Amino acid sequence: ESLHHIHKQFYNHDAQWIIIAVGESELDFRFSVLQPTTGYRHFHGGISKFKQATGRCH
């Protein structure tokens, strides 16, 4: 239950706020140029077009 609320807080508030603040294309560009790291997901297409976000893939 608390994990759900933390997730909703991040995606519905924080992520949407930063998309409005810097713009979709700038945010997507910044995610696309991050150095890929082993064990972590690399979002080479950005995050602004996500319809739904889930937890870590196992």
Alpha-carbon gap, residue 7 to 9, rounded angstroms: 5
- pLDDT of residue 53 exceeding 80: no
Give the whole-angstrom CA distance, residue 58 versus residue 44.
Answer: 20
Measured CA to CA, the distance from residue 31 to residue 25 in angstroms comes to 10
- Could you list the beta-strand ranges (E) of the chain: none
Confidence of residue 52 (pLDDT cuts 50, 70, 90): low
User: What domain range includes position 8?
Assistant: 1-57
Confidence (pTM) = 0.58
For residue 50, pLDDT beyond 90 = no
Q: Which pLDDT score, from 0 to 100, does residue 55 have?
A: 60
Looking at the predicted structure, is the pLDDT value of residue 57 above 60? no
Q: How many domains does the chain divide into?
A: 1
Q: Where residue 58 falls among pLDDT bands split at 50, 70, 90?
A: very low
Higher pLDDT, 49 or 19: 19
Contact 42, 34 (CB under 8 A): yes
